[in-house]
Amino acid sequence: MLILFNHDLLSRDEATIDIEDRGYQFGDGVYEVIRIYNGVFFELEAHLDRLERSAGEIKIALPFNQEELKANLEKLIEQDPVQSGHVYMQVTRGVAPRNHPFPAQADPVFVAYTKEYETEPSRAPGRAVFTEDIRWLRCDIKSLNLLGNVLAKQFANEQNVDEAIFHRGEWITEGSSTNVFIVKNKTLYTHPANHLILDGITRRVVLSIANDLGIKVKEEAFTKQDLLESDEVFISSTTQEVRPIVEVDGVRIADGKEGELTASIHAEFTGRLS
Give the other-Cβ count within 10 Å of 115's Cβ: 14
Q: Is 114 an interacting residue with respect to ligand PDD (CB under 6 A)? A: no
Among 179, 190, 230, 262, binds ligand PDD (CB under 6 A): 179
Taking the CA atoms of 90, 95, 101 and 105 in sequence, report the sign of the dihedral they define.
negative
Among 96, 198, 227, 265, binds ligand PDD (CB under 6 A): 198
Whether the CB-CB separation of 217 and 210 falls below 8 Å is answered with yes
Which of 198, 207, 227, 261 is an active site residue?
198
218 among known catalytic residues: no
By CB under 6 A, which span of 19-27, 96-104, 195-203, 256-264 interacts with ligand PDD? 195-203
163 among known catalytic residues: no
2 among known catalytic residues: no
Give the other-Cβ count within 10 Å of 54's Cβ: 22
Tell which positions 72-101 bind ligand PDD, by CB under 6 A: none
User: H or E element: which one contains 69?
Assistant: helix 66-79
Counting every residue written for the chain, the total comes to 274
Among 10, 25, 27, 33, binds ligand PDD (CB under 6 A): 33
Among 90, 177, 190, 230, binds ligand PDD (CB under 6 A): 177
Q: Which residues contact 250 (CB under 8 A, 6 or more apart)?
A: none
Among 162, 163, 174, 232, binds ligand PDD (CB under 6 A): 174
By CB under 6 A, which span of 93-101, 102-110, 173-181, 207-215 interacts with ligand PDD? 173-181
Tell which positions 136-155 bind ligand PDD, by CB under 6 A: 149
Closest CA to 250 of 132, 167, 125, 159: 159
The distance of closest approach from Cβ of residue 104 to ligand PDD in the complex, given in angstroms and rounded to an integer, is: 32
Give the other-Cβ count within 10 Å of 101's Cβ: 6
144 among known catalytic residues: no
Q: Is 241 an interacting residue with respect to ligand PDD (CB under 6 A)? A: no
Size of interface with ligand PDD, in residues (CB under 6 A): 15
Torsion of CA 53, 57, 61, 62, to 10 degrees: -30
Per DSSP bridges, beta strands 232-237 and 179-184 are antiparallel
Whether the CB-CB separation of 68 and 1 falls below 8 Å is answered with no
Q: Where on the chain is the footprint of ligand PDD (CB under 6 A)?
A: 33, 149, 174, 177-179, 198, 200-203, 236-239
Q: Return the active site residues.
A: 31, 142, 174, 198
